[in-house]
């Protein structure tokens, strides 16, 4: 029995020894380093390209090396990039680093240059990592290929297969907007003032007009990293138009207007590029040139041109035209609906006098100006207003002011204008929308301002020269500005701001003021005749 008990003790002791002996051995098996399983080692040439890449001679490229450890322990790594002969490394080829723990990684972009005169062909690039774990060295090798192709070859492989202007944010066509057309947005002066007052900068969104959708196709067998940019050019000179690449938040628009793509062999990809347009851009026709460059090279591999039309809606003149037309129509409707009451306020004698003044204005202004207006425009060009203003402002306002002195009743100016309009229509055929809008607007403003200034009304005082001059001057400035808006909107004519300003100040105010001033004298003389 004693012998049997002693045997059991021996067996337990043996197993205990065995367990103690086996445990460290098992631990040693767990910590054994397997380079391929316990690391990730990657090379991309050029950066971003998995598989074989494509480059053109003269490119500055970066090889991307990435190493990550899944080993719970220290390791020292020596990385070496081996470039083919002829490639010019612009960095050191050997890098040493140590990774201390699991999931720690290391990466580096190693710049190199592909000489322009390097013969086309496929080159092998090798990266070797020597991993030292507890004195044991393991070597991991990664290879990739870089195809150096001639420019002609690349130009045949890459194509801009689609170009959509305007597009949505994903680069697809937007049927709700006309194709090849971009809209120049006008920021309202009120908004600009608000932004200035509140010290807010105009947001980048304020500039962006639309997107350009670009589809690029790679017909070759290599993965191609490309950069897509665009220029908006003057269609005649081919010069880039700055208004389409405005500085945004102090940055050059080029820093925002590009997209990068990595095109797998035989694939197509679509990108969208923002098109920023500053509001001082002019409408017209432009050439949109989309450029595709290979990453690392300034050489433009492919371009595609498309004619685009920039249209603008100048809401200021449009609104002024609409308001003026509505005001004119409302005034006419009001007159037609209450014509009897309005006309009954005037004596027959007054109606006759107004019509005779209309005749004189037509004989002294409209009739000679039918030819002189066009003739002075033809000879003096934009400065003809200095001459035509003598008739249309000085003479006209002399007549208006003198008529108001004789009949200081609200409505007298409107009736005078109406007679002029109808007479002009019957005699010279000038039944034009412009004439209607400007004359009706002018009549409404003059009536309202004269009444408000006490020139006409219950206790009229029409003989104050200064007041009459200022009232007529302001009214003519307003109607003159509206008239330019109407010309621009309805007749699609262009006028420079300085010209409009000069016209309004000289013709609209100065000449009118002079005319109204002398009109009071004329009116007073006529009053004596009437008495």
Considering only residues 502 to 521 of the shown chain, the ones binding another protein according to CB under 8 A are 502, 514, 518, 521
* Contact predicate 293/299, CB 8 Å: yes
Sequence-ordered strand ranges (E) for 192-267: 208-218, 224-234, 258-263
Q: Which of 362, 392, 509, 513 binds another protein (CB under 8 A)?
A: 362
Q: C-alpha distances in angstroms, 132 versus 33, 35, 102, 413?
A: 10, 10, 15, 102
Footprint (CB under 8 A) of another protein, residues 383-422: 387, 390, 394-395, 398-399, 402, 406, 415, 418-419, 422
Q: Which of 213, 274, 358, 473 binds another protein (CB under 8 A)?
A: 358
Q: How many residues bind another protein (CB under 8 A)?
A: 93
Transcribe 95-137 into DSSP letters.
EEEEE-STT-EEEEEEEEEE-TTPPSEEEEEEEEEEEEETTEE
> Is 108 one of the binding residues for another protein (CB under 8 A)?
no
CB closer to another protein, 35 vs 473: 473
> Is 323 one of the binding residues for another protein (CB under 8 A)?
no
> Is 142 one of the binding residues for another protein (CB under 8 A)?
no
**Alpha carbons 431 and 344: distance in angstroms, whole number:** 27
* Contact predicate 80/66, CB 8 Å: no
**Alpha carbons 69 and 235: distance in angstroms, whole number:** 56
> Is 352 one of the binding residues for another protein (CB under 8 A)?
yes
Assign 3-class secondary structure to 373-399. HHHHHHHHHHHHHHHHHHHHHHHHHHH
> Is 121 one of the binding residues for another protein (CB under 8 A)?
no
**Alpha carbons 228 and 273: distance in angstroms, whole number:** 8
Paired sense of beta strands 136-149 and 59-69, if any: unpaired
> Interacting stretch for another protein, rule CB under 8 A, among 27-35, 132-140, 258-266, 283-291?
283-291
> Is 375 one of the binding residues for another protein (CB under 8 A)?
yes
CB closer to another protein, 9 vs 340: 340
> Is 326 one of the binding residues for another protein (CB under 8 A)?
no
> Is 334 one of the binding residues for another protein (CB under 8 A)?
no
CB of 480 to another protein, least distance (A): 16
**Alpha carbons 138 and 437: distance in angstroms, whole number:** 90
Dihedral of the alpha carbons of 528, 529, 530, 531, in degrees to the nearest 10: 50
CB closer to another protein, 131 vs 184: 184
> Is 12 one of the binding residues for another protein (CB under 8 A)?
no
> Is 306 one of the binding residues for another protein (CB under 8 A)?
no
**Residue in this structure with the two tokens 């019509």, named with its chain if needed:** 355
CB of 163 to another protein, least distance (A): 20
Binding mask 146-175 for another protein (x = CB under 8 A): -----------------------------x
């Amino acid at each position: 029995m004693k012998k049997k008990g002693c045997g059991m003790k021996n067996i337990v002791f043996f197993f205990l020894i065995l367990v103690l002996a086996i445990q460290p051995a098992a631990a040693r098996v767990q910590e054994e380093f397997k380079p391929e399983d316990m690391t990730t080692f990657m090379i991309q040439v050029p950066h971003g390209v998995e598989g074989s890449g494509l480059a053109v001679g003269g490119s500055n490229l970066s090889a991307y090396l990435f190493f990550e450890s899944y080993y719970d322990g220290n390791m020292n790594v020596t990385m070496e990039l081996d470039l083919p002969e002829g490639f010019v490394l612009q960095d050191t080829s050997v890098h040493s680093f140590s990774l201390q723990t699991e999931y720690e990684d290391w990466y580096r972009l190693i710049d190199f240059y592909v000489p322009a005169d390097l013969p086309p062909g496929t080159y092998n690039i090798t990266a070797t990592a020597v991993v030292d774990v507890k004195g044991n060295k393991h070597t991991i090798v990664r290879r990739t290929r870089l195809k150096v192709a001639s420019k002609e070859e690349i130009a045949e492989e890459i194509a801009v297969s689609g170009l959509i202007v305007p597009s949505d944010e994903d680069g697809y066509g937007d049927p709700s907007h006309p194709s090849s057309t971009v809209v120049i947005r006008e920021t309202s002066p009120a908004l600009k003032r608000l932004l200035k007052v509140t010290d807010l900068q105009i947001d980048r969104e304020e500039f962006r007009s639309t997107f350009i959708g670009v589809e690029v196709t790679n017909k070759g067998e290599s993965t191609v990293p490309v950069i897509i940019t665009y220029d908006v050019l003057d269609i005649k000179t081919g010069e880039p138009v700055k208004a389409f690449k405005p500085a945004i938040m102090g940055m050059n628009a080029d820093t925002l207007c590009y997209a990068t793509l990595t095109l797998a062999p035989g694939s197509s990809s679509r990108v969208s590029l923002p098109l920023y347009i500053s509001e001082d851009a002019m409408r017209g026709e432009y050439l949109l040139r989309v450029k595709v460059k290979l990453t690392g090279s300034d050489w433009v591999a492919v371009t595609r041109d498309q004619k685009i039309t920039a249209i603008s809606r100048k809401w200021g003149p449009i609104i002024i035209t609409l308001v003026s037309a509505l005001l004119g129509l409302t005034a006419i409707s009001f007159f037609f609906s209450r014509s009897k009451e309005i006309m009954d306020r005037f004596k027959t004698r007054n109606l006759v006098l107004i019509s005779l003044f209309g005749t004189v204005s037509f004989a002294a202004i409209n009739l000679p100006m039918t030819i002189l207006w066009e003739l002075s425009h033809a000879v003096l060009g934009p400065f003809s207003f200095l001459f035509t203003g003598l008739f249309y402002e000085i003479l006209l306002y002399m007549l208006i002011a003198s008529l108001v002195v004789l009949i200081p009743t609200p409505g007298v100016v409107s009736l005078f204008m109406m007679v002029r309009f109808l007479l002009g229509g019957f005699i010279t055929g000038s039944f034009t929308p412009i004439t209607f809008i400007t004359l009706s607007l002018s009549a409404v403003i003059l009536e309202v301002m004269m009444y408000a200034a006490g020139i006409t009304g219950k206790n009229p005082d029409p003989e104050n020269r200064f007041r009459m001059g200022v009232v007529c001057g302001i009214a003519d400035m307003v109607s003159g500005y509206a008239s330019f808006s109407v010309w621009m909107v309805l007749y699609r004519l262009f006028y420079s701001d300085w010209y409009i300003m000069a016209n309004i100040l000289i013709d609209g105010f100065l000449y009118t003021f002079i005319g109204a001033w002398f009109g009071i004298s004329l009116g007073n003389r006529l009053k004596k005749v009437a008495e």
